[in-house]
Amino acid sequence: MHDIKWIRGNADAFDGALARRGVEPQSVDILKLDANLREAATRMQDLQSERNRLSKEIGQLKAKGDDAAAQSKMDEVSALKDDLTAAESQHFDLGQALHNALSGLPNLPSADAPDGADEGSNTERVRMGEPSKFDFEAKDHVAIGEGLGMMDFEAAARMSGARFVILRRALAQLERALAAYMLDILTTGHGYTELSVPHLVRGDAMFGTGQLPKFTEDLFATTDEFWLIPTAEVPLTNTVREQILDADALPLRMTAHTPCYRSEAGSAGQDTRGMIRQHQFTKVEMVSVVHPDDADAEHDRMTGAACDVLDCLELPYRVMDLCTGDMGFSAKRTYDLEVWLAGQHRYREISSCSNCGDFQTRRMNARFRPGGDEKGTRFPHTLNGSGLAVGRTLVAVLENYQQADGSVTIPKVLRPYMHGALVITADG
């Protein structure tokens, strides 16, 4: 959500920042709505003041016994009623129109975010590890999983349709092991507090983090006005909605492992094979709520935590700085972690770590008291990132740890979570 007071004094900067995201100038229309809203508010307040003045006079005239004069004033009040009702309706409609105009616009990009229209303008920040090489032809995760007899897309499709999978035996255990390991490393090594959160939320929670109204088609909704979460970012971030925090409560660092549900409405024809893009998947999410002065440092810290998981799993990856045309709706700056997939011979996104500034806290009306000599309240900044997408991490383990005989070596850090097993085989 954008600050209309800031837009009033920085219209050109506002339009310039939107242009970096490929959005046409909006300030003229927004400021016109704002001016009309303020005029309507003034008219409504004037009519309310006039009504109150007349009501006071009516009481005074009645006290004097001048019923005729009192009735005349009462007639004036009645005449004001329709005007006041119309003014209140106009004020509400204009306020809603301004709210809709502002809430439909993406966050303004950070000055440091690289400019560009699409992923071709993303820039590489760092690369860790060398892409896996084998003395045999590498398979993708589907061939590996089906070869092990532990990855079943057909059975899933019979009950749920496309973009679902059933994992069996050691692969189901591996998925659980990955999530448990991620939570352990984030909570014990990086100071995140684990939460168990709702998987169904109301629309105002989705609005708060920016999924609604823009991405309605990419979400699943129930018939009784609940929404299935597309990421634990939604419930984790909304823990502070409509709250006023003390400054010493910041930073808040939270993590959760949840299923995620996405309709993938805009991905027709993309990744239709395999586990890369599914309607249901699991993810370990990180969310931070911080003092505005600490947001940039927190962004690096969060990205480092996600990198740590990949480093410990000994998976090759790179960190990309997303350009303005490739960032998510709520983000002002985003770093993507892309893991190497040996079976696909390419890097694929496994985590996005985003700094959202005060974009979400304005939508949620979440504030904090700065304390000291500073009066009033301010909006904290929020950040979110995957630590990691569990299904995609499983894909990366299968493709990078595969062996010539179709078995898969288990990464060292996961072996305690796999009852000490060293390898996954078809008969295991």
Tens of pLDDT, residues 73-97: 777 777 778 888 889 999 999 999 9
Contacts of 202 (CB under 8 A, 6+ apart): 225, 226, 227
Q: What is the 3-state secondary structure (H, E, C) of 70-115?
A: HHHHHHHHHHHHHHHHHHHHHHHHHHHHHHHHHHCCCCCCCCCCCC
Superfamily, domain 119-424:
Bira Bifunctional Protein; Domain 2 (3.30.930.10)
| Domain 4-103, CATH | 1.10.287.40
3-state secondary structure of 220: coil
pLDDT at 80: 77
CB 197 within 8 A of CB 236: yes
Tens of pLDDT, residues 196-226: 999 999 999 999 999 999 899 999 999 999 9
Task: Name the average pLDDT for the chain.
Answer: 94
- The arithmetic mean of pLDDT across residues 396-421, rounded, is 98
CB 320 within 8 A of CB 293: no
pLDDT at 270: 67
- Look at strands 151-152 and 166-167 and give their pairing: antiparallel
pLDDT at 396: 98
Active site residues: 262, 277, 349, 352, 392
- The arithmetic mean of pLDDT across residues 41-68, rounded, is 79
Contacts of 21 (CB under 8 A, 6+ apart): 106, 108, 109, 324, 325, 327
Tens of pLDDT, residues 178-197: 999 999 999 999 999 999 99
- The arithmetic mean of pLDDT across residues 137-148, rounded, is 96
Burial category of 246 from C-beta neighbours within 10 Å (exposed 0-12, middle 13-18, buried 19 and up): exposed
Among 45-59, 238-252, 283-297, 382-396, the range scoring the smallest mean pLDDT is 45-59
Tens of pLDDT, residues 68-79: 777 777 777 777
Residues of the chain with CATH 1.10.287.40: 4-103
CB 164 within 8 A of CB 422: no
pLDDT at 50: 78
Tens of pLDDT, residues 349-393: 999 999 999 999 999 999 999 987 788 999 999 999 999 999 999
- Look at strands 333-341 and 408-409 and give their pairing: unpaired
* CA 366 – CA 329 distance, rounded (Å): 19
pLDDT at 267: 60
pLDDT at 427: 85
Query: What is the share, in percent, of the chain residues with pLDDT greater than 70?
Result: 97
Tens of pLDDT, residues 223-259: 999 999 999 999 999 999 999 999 999 999 999 999 9
Per-residue pLDDT for 58 more than 80? no
3-state secondary structure of 349: strand
With a threshold of 0.85, does the pTM exceed it?
A: yes
pLDDT at 334: 98
Residues of the chain with CATH 3.30.930.10: 119-424
pLDDT at 79: 72
How many residues are recorded in the chain? 428
